């Protein structure tokens, strides 16, 4: 529980109405109960807000004329997220290794690590501090995981992978499986190209459920700091992804492509191999990018072209 004034201070907002109003939780407009705080992100939801049972609202400054009580902020979605964390803080886990976990030789860990039941950890693995490993995770040899990283159930992290700090990996993801590399020989058979490189996941990355990130043929497949990848995304071998990207569900990036910073790939976007995607580019849902794009491109369609042209 917190007062409206306390929550406004948390998000650097302005109280509109009773500053001592006690808020018991946070909910959506349709489901909010008396005492709860809800979100008005845009004018189109005002009719729903008028009938909501919420005690108060977070709303943007440009809607102050509608005289809602609550907290006025510049970015209501961000403020709502910050207040959600206040009412639902990150869970903490006891330090220790469960007896059913299997840990290889020369395992090193910092203070505060939690290793859950039925985890398998290979040899020469290194953890930083406060690493949390959930049940059923498999971590192969020579993996490094940084401070405050959390690995959810049934993730597989293959040998040689390097994971930074504050990374979150959702259930079922596989990092460092072999890249899809084959050459046809003189007999017309597919000859497997050894995949001997690795994967680097930089700080503050989040990977959704059932993401697959292939190890490099040689060198590294790289996911840049702050990048967020949704469920069911495939990243091919030797792909290099920059910082603070958003990649929505079922996107696929073929091998050896370079993606810049702050790129948005919407759902089911397909990116060809051996090309470059410039900084701040947006690819709309199901966009099929077959050639390199300069910075600040906005494309859609199959094959992808300027979004205005596609329309």
Q: What is the total residue count of the chain?
A: 311
What is residue 194's three-state secondary structure? coil
Query: What is the pLDDT, as a whole number, of residue 177?
Result: 98
Contacts of 98 by beta carbon, 8 Å cutoff, 6+ apart? 115, 116, 117, 118, 119
Nearest to 299 by CA among 261, 263, 251: 263
- Long-range contacts at 272-278 (CB < 8 A, ≥ 24 apart): 273/236
Query: What is the pLDDT, as a whole number, of residue 309?
Result: 66
Q: Which domain holds residue 67?
A: 2-87
**166 lies in the same domain as 295:** yes
Angstrom distance (rounded) from CA 149 to CA 143: 13
Query: What is the pLDDT, as a whole number, of residue 302?
Result: 94
Single out the residue in 62, 87, 112 at which a domain terminates: 87
CB 307 within 8 Å of CB 299: yes
**7 lies in the same domain as 156:** no
Nearest to 223 by CA among 275, 280, 233: 233
Q: 86, 88, 134, 237: which is the annotated catalytic residue?
A: 237
**260 lies in the same domain as 293:** yes
**206 lies in the same domain as 133:** yes
Angstrom distance (rounded) from CA 80 to CA 28: 10
**Is 237 one of the catalytic residues?**
yes
pTM across the whole model? 0.94
**70 lies in the same domain as 133:** no
CA torsion angle for 119, 120, 125, 131 (degrees, to 10)?
A: -10
Using one digit for the tens of pLDDT, what is the confidence trace for 273-288?
999 999 999 999 999 9
Using one digit for the tens of pLDDT, what is the confidence trace for 135-176?
999 999 999 999 999 999 999 999 999 999 999 999 999 999
**134 lies in the same domain as 246:** yes
CB 173 within 8 Å of CB 155: yes
What is residue 120's three-state secondary structure? strand
Angstrom distance (rounded) from CA 288 to CA 301: 6
**26 lies in the same domain as 137:** no
Which residues are registered as beta bridge partners of 114? 96, 132
**226 lies in the same domain as 302:** yes
CATH number at residue 182: 2.160.10.10
**109 lies in the same domain as 17:** no
Single out the residue in 69, 87, 105 at which a domain terminates: 87
**Phi and psi (nearest 5°) for 195?**
-105, 95
Using one digit for the tens of pLDDT, what is the confidence trace for 174-202?
999 999 999 999 999 999 999 999 999 99
Query: How many separate domains does the chain show?
Result: 2
Tens of pLDDT, residue by residue, the chain (311 residues): 999 999 999 999 999 999 999 999 999 999 999 999 999 999 999 999 999 999 999 999 999 889 899 999 999 999 999 999 999 999 999 999 999 999 999 999 999 999 999 999 999 999 999 999 999 999 999 999 999 999 999 999 999 999 999 999 999 999 999 999 999 999 999 999 999 999 999 999 999 999 999 999 999 999 999 999 999 999 999 999 999 999 999 999 999 999 999 999 999 999 999 999 999 999 999 999 999 999 999 999 999 999 876 55
**242 lies in the same domain as 182:** yes
Single out the residue in 87, 108, 135 at which a domain terminates: 87
CATH number at residue 24: 3.40.1390.10
Provide the 8-state DSSP code for 293: B
Angstrom distance (rounded) from CA 54 to CA 35: 6
**15 lies in the same domain as 134:** no
Helix or strand run (H / E) with residue 282? strand 282-283
**146 lies in the same domain as 74:** no
Angstrom distance (rounded) from CA 236 to CA 273: 8
CB 40 within 8 Å of CB 46: yes
């Amino acid at each position: 529980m917190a007062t409206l004034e306390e929550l406004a201070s948390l998000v650097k907002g302005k109280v509109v109405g009773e500053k001592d109003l006690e808020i018991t939780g946070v909910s959506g407009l349709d489901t909010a109960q008396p005492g709860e705080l809800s979100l008005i992100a845009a004018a189109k939801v005002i009719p729903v807000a008028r009938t909501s049972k919420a005690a108060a609202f977070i709303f943007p400054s440009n809607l102050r004329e509608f005289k809602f009580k609550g907290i006025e902020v510049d970015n209501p979605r961000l403020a709502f997220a910050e207040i959600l964390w206040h009412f639902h803080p990150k869970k903490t886990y006891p330090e220790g290794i469960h007896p059913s976990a299997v840990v290889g030789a020369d395992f090193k860990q910092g203070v505060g690590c939690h290793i859950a039941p039925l985890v398998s950890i290979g040899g020469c693995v290194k953890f930083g501090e406060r690493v949390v490993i959930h049940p059923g995770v498999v971590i192969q040899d020579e993996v490094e995981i940084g401070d405050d990283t959390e690995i959810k159930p049934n993730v597989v992290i293959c040998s040689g992978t390097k994971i930074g700090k504050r990374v979150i990996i959702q259930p079922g993801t596989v990092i460092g499986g072999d890249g899809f590399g084959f050459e046809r020989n003189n007999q017309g058979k597919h000859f497997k190209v050894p995949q001997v490189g690795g994967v680097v996941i930089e700080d503050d990355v989040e990977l959704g459920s059932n993401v697959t990130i292939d190890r490099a043929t040689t060198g590294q497949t790289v996911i840049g700091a702050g990048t967020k990848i949704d469920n069911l995304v495939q990243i091919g071998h030797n792909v290099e992804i920059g910082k603070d990207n958003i990649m929505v569900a079922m996107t696929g990036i073929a091998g050896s492509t370079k993606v810049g910073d702050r790129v948005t790939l919407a759902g089911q976007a397909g990116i060809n191999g051996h090309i470059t995607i410039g900084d701040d580019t947006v690819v709309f849902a199901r966009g099929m990018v077959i050639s390199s794009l300069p910075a600040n491109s906005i494309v859609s369609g199959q094959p992808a072209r300027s979004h205005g042209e596609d329309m």
